[in-house]
Chain A
Amino acid sequence: MAWVWRGLREGIVTTRYPRRDDGYGPGYRGSVRVAAGADPSVLPARPVEAAPSEQVSGAEGVMSGPDAGSGGGPGVLGLSDVVDRCPTGAIGIASRIPGSETLQIDRGGCILCGRCVDARPDRFTFDPRVETAALSRATLVVPQLDASIGEAQALEGLRSDLWRRVKALRRSVHIRHVDAGSDGSEEWEVAALTNPVYDVGRLGIFFTASPRHADLLLVTGVGTVGMASALRETFAAMPEPKIVVAAGTDATSGGLLRHDAANCGVGAIVPVDVWVPGSPPSPFSILHGILLGLGVLLKIRSTQ
Chain B
Amino acid sequence: MSPPSTTPSSTTTVVEASEIAETVARAVREGGRFAGLLGAARPDAPPVLRAILAFPERFEIYESALATTRRLPALTPLVPAAAWYERELHDLLGIVPVGHPHLDPLVIPSDDRSLRRGEEGERGRAGGATARVGGTGVFSIPYGPVRSGVFESVEYRIETTGEEIHQLAPHVFYKHRGLERRFRELPYEDAPLLAERVEGTCSVAHAVAFARALECLGEVEVPRPAELLRVLHAELERIAVHLDSVIRHTEGAGQAEAFARLSLHKERIQRLRAQLCGHRFGRGVVVPGGVSGPPSADGRRVLDEVRRIQAALADDLDALMSTPSFLDRLHGTGVLAPEVVEAHGALGPVARGSGLAEDSRLARPYGAYRDLDLEPAVLTREGDALARQQVRLFEIGQSFHLVRQALDQLVEGAQGPWQIEVPPSRGLALSWVEAPQGELLYLVEAEPGHLVTVKPRTASFHNLALFPQAFGGDIFTDFVFVEASFGLSIAGVSG
Binding partners A and B: yes
A interface residue numbers (CB < 8 A to B): 1, 3-4, 6-7, 10, 13, 24-25, 27-29, 85, 87, 111-114, 118, 126, 177-192, 194-197, 207, 209-210, 221-222, 224-227, 230-231, 234, 255-257, 259, 262-263, 279-280, 282
B129 adjacent to chain A (CB < 8 Å): no
Residue on B nearest A192 in the bound complex, by CB: B267
B152 adjacent to chain A (CB < 8 Å): yes
B349 adjacent to chain A (CB < 8 Å): no
Tell me, rounded to whole Å, the shortest Cβ–Cβ distance linking A2 to chain B.
9
B interface residue numbers (CB < 8 A to A): 108-109, 112, 114-115, 145-146, 148-153, 173-179, 181-182, 185-186, 189-190, 193-194, 197-201, 203, 244, 257-258, 260-261, 263-264, 266-267, 270-271, 274-275, 278-281, 283-284, 292, 296, 315-316, 319, 489-492
Let me know if A182 and B185 touch, CB within 8 A. no
Contacting residue for A1 out of B146, B178, B319, B491, CB 8 A: B319
Contacting residue for B175 out of A29, A112, A179, A279, CB 8 A: A179
CA gap between A197 and B174 in the complex, in Å = 32
CA gap between A210 and B263 in the complex, in Å = 24
Let me know if B489 and A184 touch, CB within 8 A. yes
Let me know if A263 and B263 touch, CB within 8 A. no
Residue on A nearest B488 in the bound complex, by CB: A184
Chain A contacts for B176, CB-based, 8 A: 181, 224-226
Chain B contacts for A192, CB-based, 8 A: 263, 266-267, 270
Let me know if B296 and A225 touch, CB within 8 A. no
Residue on B nearest A211 in the bound complex, by CB: B146
Let me know if A179 and B263 touch, CB within 8 A. no
Let me know if A225 and B197 touch, CB within 8 A. no
Question: 6 new A-B pairs (CB below 8 Å) besides A6-B261, A190-B150?
Answer: A3-B258, A118-B292, A178-B153, A191-B150, A195-B267, A262-B178
Let me know if A262 and B175 touch, CB within 8 A. no
CA gap between A184 and B176 in the complex, in Å = 12
Contacting residue for A197 out of B178, B244, B267, CB 8 A: B267
Let me know if A263 and B177 touch, CB within 8 A. yes
Chain B contacts for A25, CB-based, 8 A: 275
Contacting residue for B153 out of A28, A194, A230, A280, CB 8 A: A230
Tell me, rounded to whole Å, the shortest Cβ–Cβ distance linking A287 to chain B.
13
Residue on B nearest A188 in the bound complex, by CB: B201
Chain B contacts for A113, CB-based, 8 A: 193, 283-284
Let me know if A6 and B316 touch, CB within 8 A. yes
Let me know if B260 and A182 touch, CB within 8 A. no
Contacting residue for A262 out of B115, B152, B194, B267, CB 8 A: B115
Chain A contacts for B278, CB-based, 8 A: 27-29, 114, 126
Chain A to chain B contacts (Cβ below 8 Å), 23 pairs? A6-B316, A7-B257, A10-B264, A29-B278, A29-B279, A113-B193, A113-B283, A179-B175, A181-B177, A184-B152, A184-B491, A185-B281, A188-B270, A195-B264, A197-B264, A207-B149, A224-B175, A225-B176, A226-B173, A227-B153, A256-B186, A259-B178, A279-B197
CA gap between A298 and B109 in the complex, in Å = 43
Let me know if A184 and B200 touch, CB within 8 A. yes
Tell me, rounded to whole Å, the shortest Cβ–Cβ distance linking A32 to chain B.
11
CA gap between A262 and B489 in the complex, in Å = 22
Let me know if B115 and A112 touch, CB within 8 A. no
Let me know if A188 and B174 touch, CB within 8 A. no
Chain B contacts for A197, CB-based, 8 A: 264, 267
Chain B contacts for A7, CB-based, 8 A: 257, 260-261
Let me know if B175 and A259 touch, CB within 8 A. no
Chain B contacts for A185, CB-based, 8 A: 200-201, 203, 281
Let me know if A183 and B109 touch, CB within 8 A. no
Tell me, rounded to whole Å, the shortest Cβ–Cβ distance linking A250 to chain B.
8
Tell me, rounded to whole Å, the shortest Cβ–Cβ distance linking A97 to chain B.
30
CA gap between A234 and B177 in the complex, in Å = 21
Chain B contacts for A118, CB-based, 8 A: 292
Let me know if B174 and A227 touch, CB within 8 A. yes
Let me know if A226 and B267 touch, CB within 8 A. no
Tell me, rounded to whole Å, the shortest Cβ–Cβ distance linking A148 to chain B.
30
Residue on B nearest A181 in the bound complex, by CB: B175
Let me know if A179 and B296 touch, CB within 8 A. no
Chain A contacts for B174, CB-based, 8 A: 181, 224, 226-227, 230
Let me know if A28 and B257 touch, CB within 8 A. no
Let me know if B197 and A256 touch, CB within 8 A. yes
CA gap between A187 and B261 in the complex, in Å = 19
Which 4 residue pairs are nearest across A and B when measured between Cβ atoms?
Answer: A183-B200, A209-B148, A185-B200, A3-B257
Chain A contacts for B148, CB-based, 8 A: 209-210
Contacting residue for A87 out of B190, B200, B292, CB 8 A: B190
CA gap between A6 and B265 in the complex, in Å = 13
Chain A contacts for B261, CB-based, 8 A: 3, 6-7
Let me know if A179 and B153 touch, CB within 8 A. yes
Chain A contacts for B146, CB-based, 8 A: 178, 230-231, 234
CA gap between A188 and B182 in the complex, in Å = 24
CA gap between A190 and B244 in the complex, in Å = 13
Chain A contacts for B203, CB-based, 8 A: 185
Residue on B nearest A175 in the bound complex, by CB: B150
Chain A contacts for B244, CB-based, 8 A: 188
Let me know if A221 and B175 touch, CB within 8 A. yes
CA gap between A282 and B270 in the complex, in Å = 10
Contacting residue for B491 out of A114, A182, A226, A234, CB 8 A: A182
Chain B contacts for A195, CB-based, 8 A: 260, 263-264, 266-267
CA gap between A275 and B118 in the complex, in Å = 36
Let me know if B491 and A227 touch, CB within 8 A. no
Contacting residue for B197 out of A13, A183, A231, CB 8 A: A183
Let me know if B283 and A279 touch, CB within 8 A. yes
Chain B contacts for A280, CB-based, 8 A: 200, 280-281
Chain B contacts for A184, CB-based, 8 A: 152, 199-201, 489-492
Tell me, rounded to whole Å, the shortest Cβ–Cβ distance linking A290 to chain B.
13
Chain B contacts for A222, CB-based, 8 A: 177
Let me know if B150 and A187 touch, CB within 8 A. yes
Chain A contacts for B175, CB-based, 8 A: 179-182, 221, 224, 226-227
CA gap between A222 and B200 in the complex, in Å = 13
Q: A196-B260, A196-B263 are in contact. Are A85 and B197 (CB under 8 A)?
A: no
Contacting residue for B199 out of A183, A210, A255, CB 8 A: A183
Q: A179-B151, A194-B263, A257-B178 are in contact. Are A3 and B319 (CB under 8 A)?
A: yes
Residue on A nearest B491 in the bound complex, by CB: A184
Residue on B nearest A255 in the bound complex, by CB: B197
Chain B contacts for A224, CB-based, 8 A: 174-177
Q: Which of A7, A188, A227, A263: most chain B CB closer than 10 A?
A: A188
Tell me, rounded to whole Å, the shortest Cβ–Cβ distance linking A233 to chain B.
8
Q: A224-B175, A224-B177 are in contact. Are A256 and B182 (CB under 8 A)?
A: yes
CA gap between A184 and B206 in the complex, in Å = 13
Let me know if A230 and B266 touch, CB within 8 A. no
Residue on B nearest A85 in the bound complex, by CB: B189
Chain A contacts for B491, CB-based, 8 A: 182-184
Residue on B nearest A221 in the bound complex, by CB: B175
Contacting residue for B152 out of A13, A179, A257, CB 8 A: A179
CA gap between A230 and B279 in the complex, in Å = 31
Chain B contacts for A263, CB-based, 8 A: 177-178
Residue on B nearest A86 in the bound complex, by CB: B190
Let me know if A180 and B153 touch, CB within 8 A. yes
